Amino acid sequence: METQISKITTVINYNRVIEIIQEAGIVLLDRFNKRNSRHLKGIDTGYIKEKAEKELVIREDLISQDIVIEGIKKIEPNAVIYSEELNNVHLLANDNNEIKFILDPLDGTHNFYFGMPYWGIGLAVLNKQNESIAGFIYLPALNIFIKNEGNNSSTLLKNGNDWIKCNTTARPLEKSIICYDNQFYKLGNTAIKIYDILAHEVFTSRITGSAITDAALIATGRINGRIWNKTEPYDIAPGIPIVRGAGGMVSDFKNNDINVLQKTIIMSSDKLLHERLIQDINLIK
């Protein structure tokens, strides 16, 4: 994949981008419901391949990817698009384009496959420094579409034909609900130690298995934080501007600002909680 392009529009038609994501989401929701009807009959719905240990690719990953990428290319033929299923994200670190897209066409593939509602489409726009400057998350099974179009804008939630401003809900750690990584076998002992501390200090914890779901739930005030010990750019990119635009905080484990290439990430509802999470994480040696 070429990392330089001759011209790309810096004014993006976000209204059309939203329509494209919705089109993909409608298709995914229909297929999700059909898969669930098969589950009720005891029929295994199948998958395409296991791309890595305990990592499935299903048809819907590729169907959603095709819809979104083809739609963006129609409005911006020169668009540079990174996607989990294109296997091109490793090129992002050396990409100096002023504007590019990064897509997770079906975040929460395993949830989708097994019939749980925590899945969706995440799309972000990155700048030259690979900082996320706009984000879109659509969770069809939860009827949540949330966006932040950048330029210090507020995060908005789709409500019928309108968009309403949404905000995080500030809570102290002992009254908070914090989400965490799944697949502990990949994370190592430090991540397990962090989770052990949090499990005793927070009100309760959850593992949804979907990064974009957790970001959307923070931004809409349902939960208070999410910690990633080992993440990928497409997992966190849509949520960064969305959480910040709703009043939340995003940083690495040392409270430094980040771009999407950072592996260790905290998203939280408010400054005080964020500082407390960082303090607890850094107790681990």
Q: Is the pLDDT score of 285 beyond 80?
A: no
Mean confidence (pLDDT) of the chain: 91
What token pair was written down for 73?
A: 């290319």
Please give the Cα distance from 65 to 84 (Å, whole number): 9
* Helix H or strand E segment including 65: helix 59-75
**Under the phi-then-psi rule, with left for phi > 0, alpha for psi from -120 to 50, and beta for the rest, what region is 6?**
alpha
Structure tokens at 110: 């395993």
Which has the minimum average pLDDT: 8-22, 58-72, 142-156? 8-22
Q: What is the pLDDT of residue 58?
A: 83
pLDDT tens-digit map of 151-166: 889 999 999 999 999 9
Contact between 215 and 239 under an 8 Å Cβ cutoff? The reply is: yes
Write the pLDDT tens digit of every residue in 34-50.
988 887 777 776 766 55
Torsion of CA 75, 80, 86, 88, to 10 degrees: 180
pLDDT at 8 over 70: no
Place of tokens 């299923």: 85
Write the pLDDT tens digit of every residue in 96-129. 999 999 999 999 999 999 999 999 999 999 999 9
**How is residue 155 annotated by DSSP?**
P
Distance CA 68, CA 18 (A): 10
